[in-house]
Structure 1
Amino acid sequence: MRALAVALAPVLLVQGAGVRRRTPVLPEAPGPRAGVVAGDGPPLTVAVVGESPAAGVGVATQEDGLAARFAAALARRSGREVRWRLSARTGTTVAQALGLLVPGPAGPPADVVLVAFGVNDTLRLRSRAAWRRDVTALLGALTPLTAPGGVVVLAGLPDLGRFPTLPQPLRGVLGRQARALDAELGRLARPGVRHAPAPPLDGPGLFADDGFHPGAAACAMWAEVLAAAALPLRM
């Protein structure tokens, strides 16, 4: 992959600059980054940590964002109250998240921790070995923040090869890179750590205005897949 990127570097640099010029810069969604979804039975505590999709880039409010939609999907599927909190920032890589986003907002250990990174590491063509090392370090940092019997859900990387705003060959290179990093996430799955491959996010109306970030409909669809991976808990 890196050899291909080096060979295509002149073209990729020109295309990348063009994408940056014509792609609108969308803000992180306004709204509370913590909340409660009503339900019966003992409450579930949920922590979400991630990059721009988790931060709400591409939706109008946090209510439509991935974190809140994930909490709502968990509440509906489990029938339990869900108390959620979010720690996310646009442009963050997994390595940068250590110390910057983790441990995140104060709160009790989480029954479910959702980890949503990878696009920024893909754009930087992070090697598979370095990515695996970074994610392993992040999982270690999350251990004391996860309740006994709780689960960490690794959100799979969206396939950048399907992103309409990216021209070829840039789209193909980034698509292969995203799939390679996602495969490494799958290899990190173990008891208490689950990998949830991302659904196809290239349908009509699923992208935000920038053609790059998931819109509200995509976040809702993605949240259902993530909630299904999180349940049942090991508690």
Structure 2
Amino acid sequence: MLPAADQLARIPLTPVLVAQGLGVRQRANTLSEPPGAREGQSGSDKSLRLLIVGDSSAAGVGATSQEKALSGRLVQNLAQDHQVTWKLIGESSITTTGMLKRLSALPAASFDLAITALGVNDVTRGSSRRKWVKRQTELADLLSTKFGARCIVASGLPPMGAYPQVPQPLRWVLGAQATRLDDALAGLAATHPILSHLPIDLPFETRYQASDGYHPSEEAYTLWASLFADHIRARLG
């Protein structure tokens, strides 16, 4: 397969892309992971053991507390008809490879369901499609064998080519790479026995962006959690 136009352009554009990338990374690192519980139990009725793993978006960067971030909003939603026992393992700047190492170092546990929110840092570090699919396959295997997950929902990658505060041509390059990896993740999920793909279908408006213009806002986390909850109920149905 011949390289895409954005891949061919990376070499002559390297000095510009590096300079722009450093600026974006500096702005993206201005917000910290919010305080709040990263495990607990909520709700009643049917038992559901939930594991949430991912990067800064899973860790809630852009929200003022974990309750208003992805994990908190998702647990609140699912707790309407489940007794949710949950745990969050999220870390800013982590890649799929980094998450594999972190999970491998943890003791085994038992969950019914795992959701993942990874990929932005794989994009910014230039992960190839082949390596991405390999690492995502390894992650699904680890979540099912070591952590007992019978259902895994992987969030799609955000439309990085639409980030207004990422300058061109970096925005074009990152957007094309994000689309490529997201398509590969959807393809993997289509043939995997327990992995499904949740496309990111959020309005790309200012109010859905955190103050750094890079991470989700609290409104975006609420919508994203709702998408996850609907998808999870359909899968468990």
AA aligned opposite 1:16: G
- For 1:143, the equivalent position in structure 2 comes to 144
- For 1:160, the equivalent position in structure 2 comes to 160
Three-state SS of the structure 1 residue aligned to 2:19 is: helix
1:197-212 counterparts in 2 under 5 A? Answer: 197-200=199-202, 202-212=204-214
1:41-96 deviations in Å (ceiling 9; x for gaps): 221110001000001111101111111212222233xx122111101111100011
- For 2:99, the equivalent position in structure 1 comes to 97
The answer as to whether partners of 1:208 and 1:215 remain within 8 angstroms in 2 is: yes
CA RMSD of aligned residues (A): 2.0
> Which segments of 5 or more consecutive residues in structure 1 lack a partner in the other structure?
none
- For 1:13, the equivalent position in structure 2 comes to 18
- Residues in 2 aligned to 1:103 and 1:153: alpha-carbon distance in whole angstroms: 22
Which of the residues 25, 33, 47 maps onto 2:30?
Answer: 25
C-alpha displacement of 1:111 = 1.5
The answer as to whether partners of 1:194 and 1:229 remain within 8 angstroms in 2 is: no
Question: Aligned in 2, Cα 1:44/1:22: closer, same or farther, shift over 3 Å?
Answer: closer
C-alpha displacement of 1:230 = 1.7
- Residues in 2 aligned to 1:8 and 1:166: alpha-carbon distance in whole angstroms: 15
Count of residues in Structure 1 that have an aligned counterpart in Structure 2: 230
C-alpha displacement of 1:35 = 2.1
C-alpha displacement of 1:20 = 3.6
The answer as to whether partners of 1:59 and 1:215 remain within 8 angstroms in 2 is: yes
1:157-181 deviations in Å (ceiling 9; x for gaps): 1111121220111111101111111
C-alpha displacement of 1:24 = 5.5
Q: Percent identity?
A: 37
- Residues in 2 aligned to 1:193 and 1:160: alpha-carbon distance in whole angstroms: 23
> Which segments of 5 or more consecutive residues in structure 2 lack a partner in the other structure?
1-5
AA aligned opposite 1:173: V
Three-state SS of the structure 2 residue aligned to 1:85 is: strand
- For 2:123, the equivalent position in structure 1 comes to 122
- For 1:112, the equivalent position in structure 2 comes to 113
AA aligned opposite 1:128: R
Give me the TM-score of the superposition, normalised by structure 1. Answer: 0.90
- Residues in 2 aligned to 1:227 and 1:134: alpha-carbon distance in whole angstroms: 25
- Residues in 2 aligned to 1:82 and 1:23: alpha-carbon distance in whole angstroms: 32
